Amino acid sequence: MLIDIIAGARPNFIKIGPIIAAIEEQTKNGIDIHYRLVHTGQHYDKKMSGDFFEQLNIPAPHHNLEVGSGTQAEQTARIMVGYEKLLLEKPCDLCIVVGDVTSTMACSIAAKKINNIKVAHVEGGIRSGDWTMPEEINRIVTDSISDYFFTTSEVANRNLRNMGVTDERIFFVGNTMIDTLYKQMPRFSRPALWDTFHLEAQGYIIMTLHRPANVDNKDNLRELINAIVTSSRGMPLVFPVHPRTAKMLENTGITASNLHVIEPLGYLEFNYLVQNARAVITDSGGITEEATVMSIPCMTLRDSTERPETCTVGTNELLGTNPASIAPAFERLFSGQWKKGAIPELWDGHTASRIVAQIINLFSLK
Ligand code: UD1
Ligand code: UDP
């Protein structure tokens, strides 16, 4: 059996690593299961792509569609054309897509429209309810045509049932991003900037921002960062800047003595900094999950989340996008009132092997 594994953007690389490792293990066991890794090229900078393959020992992709950046439609179209060509040359038996980026949606459509190739959506069923986010459209479209769903939560299972998906197609398996987190934890690595910025454990905040609603407008971005800086009581703020945010940030002209703007970090360095931080402030999805598992207070600058368990079970809290909500949250953090949180069900580091076991069963592989 040939499985295509699709990855295009930073969070995808972290999610596919454990799935590939679990497939390779079963191939070694003599099971007829093989994969082809397809990188769409949605993210292409070394710091957004290549570094993750190196650090996480992910094999080099068999194909890179090299689609690069563009509008939503341009990227979607280029990915579909590139992947369709590959499938016409050599079809696969199952296409695995992960997460909610444009590559996820585009490849699921291309696969489904060629001879009805089976599609499995890892992290299927999650919903923010916010249709202004491109990711929400990607989730809805992908889930509406996927055959199998490997889910991270009971809420996701419920969302799928509500859209008419029957239980035999839903597999509640946990979170492959957390498989990577547990596996790599012993390798987390203190970056050189620790000494440069005189950081101390629990004595700094790590922040990331890349959602269009927060970063595509200069005034919004300036107000958010100003509010963070003025609420932080001079505590160092380490800010690895996503390429989407970089240019706009320059235009804001913001500087502060405790604001350390740096390039995106490698996975091992970034998560070392999360693990030792006083708190995380972010608009990422994946980072709220990692902060939850590492029990680090997490403030999310969004009005909604597709990962409610990071709030109901974990350490995450939605502050919204109004800068006025930042100061009171920092007050609660500094006065020791942040919730402790727990780890969501099945986020135990063994999700990928559960996924592959289900595939072996579904396709009666020997
Ligand atoms: C994408 C995903 C988002 C995910 C994020 C993870 C979609 C719709 N969005 O957002 O869900 O949270 O990735 O990081 O799929 N750029 C570079 N170098 C790169 C990649 C991007 O400079 O390697 C710049 C380009 O100017 C590009 C912009 O970043 O136009 C946005 O990239 P894009 O892939 O369109 O979306 P992200 O904002 O990265
Ligand atoms: N990450 C990283 N270096 C950074 C910022 C993030 O390695 O400088 C990792 C982070 O640990 C998580 C993933 O990137 O595993 C999250 O990706 P991102 O926030 O870009 O996307 P999202 O999860 O919001 O889709």
Kindly list the structural domains of the chain, giving each domain's residue range(s) and its CATH number in brackets, ordered by start: 2-174+347-362 (3.40.50.2000), 187-334 (3.40.50.2000)
Mutate to test the pocket of ligand 2, among 49, 245, 270 (most ligand atoms within 8 A of CB): 270
Give yes or no for residue 191 CB within 6 A of ligand 2. Answer: no
Task: Choose the catalytic residue: 39, 43, 210, 260.
Answer: 210
What pLDDT, in 10s, does the model give residues 150-202? 999 999 999 999 999 999 999 999 999 999 999 999 999 999 999 999 999 99
Structure tokens at 4: 């295509």
Looking at residues 233-238, what average pLDDT do you find? 98
Looking at residues 7-19, what average pLDDT do you find? 98
Q: What is the pLDDT of residue 290?
A: 99
Distance CA 211, CA 52 (A): 21
Separation of 43 CA from ligand 1 center, angstroms?
6
Give yes or no for residue 273 CB within 6 A of ligand 2. Answer: no
User: Cα 99–311–288 angle (5° rounding)?
Assistant: 45
Q: What is the pLDDT of residue 115?
A: 87
What pLDDT, in 10s, does the model give residues 89-105? 999 999 999 999 999 99
Distance CA 177, CA 183 (A): 10
Q: Would you give the distance in Å from CA 249 to the centre of its chain?
A: 22
Q: Is 63 a catalytic residue?
A: no
Question: What percent of the chain shows pLDDT beyond 70?
Answer: 100
Atom 21, ligand 1: which residue's CA is nearest? 43
Which band of pLDDT confidence, cut at 50, 70 and 90, is reported for residue 229? Answer: very high
Q: What is the pLDDT of residue 36?
A: 98
Q: What is the pLDDT of residue 247?
A: 87
Which band of pLDDT confidence, cut at 50, 70 and 90, is reported for residue 318? Answer: very high
Instruction: Give yes or no for residue 135 having a pLDDT over 90.
Output: yes
Give yes or no for residue 10 CB within 6 A of ligand 2. Answer: yes
Atom 23, ligand 2: which residue's CA is nearest? 286
Question: What percent of the chain shows pLDDT beyond 90?
Answer: 99
Atom 30, ligand 1: which residue's CA is nearest? 69
Contact 158, 349 (CB under 8 A): no
What pLDDT, in 10s, does the model give residues 51-78? 999 999 999 999 999 999 999 999 999 9
Contact 290, 181 (CB under 8 A): yes
Contact 121, 29 (CB under 8 A): no
What distance, in Å, lies between the first and last C-alpha atoms of the chain? 10
Give the pTM.
0.98
Contact 343, 313 (CB under 8 A): yes
Q: What is the pLDDT of residue 158?
A: 98
